[in-house]
């Protein structure tokens, strides 16, 4: 646990109070409260259509809530003017589900977009920043001058992560970071997020369906159900929670399998840089060929 337990000392990075979001007559959130503490990796889970992405979009000011207050770094966030508040938007990086890289720019240029927008740095320095960010997210140097359409899904996500981290934000939003990746690539991405969060001291807000991701990287997990956050806790504690959706989710066959994997490999989350043997990547059990 890197994050401090809530209520202890530091002020939350994100404070959401009594959030109400409506689309026409449909209410997505009704009185939602959430605190995200500095330095923690908070996972957000919920069924399809429960409004996980809507919550993220509300926090970063892309969605105007009907009621309630949202504060990020102590500053109020609310709809249109949030996007104009550059001192605030500079503090966070967002990784959208599809990557949302600008298709007309190369990967390196994509990383430089926020740099150019906010700062007046020398071309040399910007080229170097783009280069080390490319390497930091685990992309080969050849990926820098490539266009997004030339990259695989996993590389696109890494490139998008590099752009999200271009300004060295304190707060990182990830929307389904491992969706659409194969298990090996997803594992690698989890490890990458964990490592970067540790070195760059990031607070991470991650929406995910991926139980392995939850077990591997999240300090705490918030559950959205019945239009609000019904619990925020460690996974082990959540699994005890008496709520039908939570029980199905964490104690269903997939939930148990993910939990078991984590237990068998206790060092998995921490073993950031250890590479698995290429031949057995993904196989947790003993290899029958060995016998």
Sites of contact with another protein (CB under 8 A): 103, 106, 108-109, 112, 115, 119-122, 125, 127-136, 141-146, 149, 167-168, 198-201
Of 133 and 163, which CB lies nearer to another protein in the complex structure?
133
Instruction: Round to whole Å and give the CA distance between 53 and 124.
Output: 37
Instruction: Round to whole Å and give the CA distance between 54 and 62.
Output: 9
Tokens of 99: 């990557």
- The conformation of residue 99, written as its DSSP 8-state character, comes to -
Of 46 and 138, which CB lies nearer to another protein in the complex structure?
138
Tokens of 92: 């966070």
Instruction: Round to whole Å and give the CA distance between 286 and 264.
Output: 12
Of 202 and 258, which CB lies nearer to another protein in the complex structure?
202
Match 């070195």 to its residue by tokens: 199
Of 157 and 215, which CB lies nearer to another protein in the complex structure?
157
Q: How far is the CB of 45 from another protein (least distance, A)?
A: 28
SS (H, E, C) 100-147: CCCCCCCHHHHHHHHHHHHCCCCHHHHHHHHHHHHHHCCCCHHHCCCC
Q: How far is the CB of 256 from another protein (least distance, A)?
A: 33
Of 48 and 122, which CB lies nearer to another protein in the complex structure?
122
Q: How far is the CB of 266 from another protein (least distance, A)?
A: 23
Q: How far is the CB of 105 from another protein (least distance, A)?
A: 9
Tokens of 174: 């990830």
Instruction: For residue 21, give every residue at least 6 positions away whose Cβ sits within 8 Å of its Cβ, in sequence order, or none.
Output: 27, 28, 29, 51, 54, 55, 58, 63, 65, 66
Q: How far is the CB of 192 from another protein (least distance, A)?
A: 12
Cβ count near 65 (within 10 Å): 25
Q: How far is the CB of 90 from another protein (least distance, A)?
A: 8
Match 């990086």 to its residue by tokens: 93
Of 36 and 107, which CB lies nearer to another protein in the complex structure?
107
Of 45 and 204, which CB lies nearer to another protein in the complex structure?
204
Q: Would you mind telling me the total number of residues written for the chain in this entry?
A: 291
Instruction: Round to whole Å and give the CA distance between 288 and 174.
Output: 38
Contacts 24+ apart (CB under 8 A), 126-135: 129/166, 133/162, 133/165, 133/166, 134/107, 134/108, 134/159, 134/162
Q: How far is the CB of 121 from another protein (least distance, A)?
A: 6
Q: How far is the CB of 34 from another protein (least distance, A)?
A: 27
Of 168 and 182, which CB lies nearer to another protein in the complex structure?
168
């Amino acid at each position: 646990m890197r994050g401090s337990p809530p209520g202890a000392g530091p002020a939350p990075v994100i404070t959401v109070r009594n959030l109400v979001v409506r689309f026409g007559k449909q209410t997505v959130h009704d009185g939602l409260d959430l605190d995200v503490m500095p330095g923690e990796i908070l996972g957000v889970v919920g069924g399809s259509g429960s409004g996980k992405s809507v919550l993220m979009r509300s926090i970063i000011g892309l969605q105007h809530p009907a009621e309630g207050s949202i504060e990020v770094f102590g500053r109020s966030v609310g709809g249109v003017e949030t996007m104009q508040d550059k001192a605030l938007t500079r503090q966070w990086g967002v990784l959208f589900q599809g990557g949302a890289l600008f298709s007309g720019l190369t990967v390196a240029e994509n990383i430089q977009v926020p740099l150019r927008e906010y700062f007046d740095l020398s071309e040399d320095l910007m080229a170097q920043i783009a280069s080390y960010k490319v390497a930091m997210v685990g992309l080969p140097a050849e990926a820098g001058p490539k266009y997004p359409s030339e990259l695989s899904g996993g590389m696109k996500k890494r490139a998008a992560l590099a752009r999200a981290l271009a300004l060295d934000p304190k707060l990182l939003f990830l929307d389904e970071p491992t969706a659409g990746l194969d298990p090996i690539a997803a594992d690698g991405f989890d490890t990458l997020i964990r490592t970067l969060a540790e070195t760059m001291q990031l607070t991470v807000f991650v929406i995910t369906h991926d139980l392995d991701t939850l077990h591997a990287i999240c300090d705490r997990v918030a559950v959205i159900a019945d239009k609000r956050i019904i619990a925020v806790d460690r996974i082990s504690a959540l699994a005890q929670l008496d709520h039908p959706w939570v029980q199905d989710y964490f104690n269903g066959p997939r939930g148990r399998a993910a939990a078991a994997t984590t237990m068998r490999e206790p060092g998995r989350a921490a073993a950031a840089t250890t590479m698995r043997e290429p031949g057995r990547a993904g196989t947790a059990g003993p290899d029958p060929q060995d016998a």
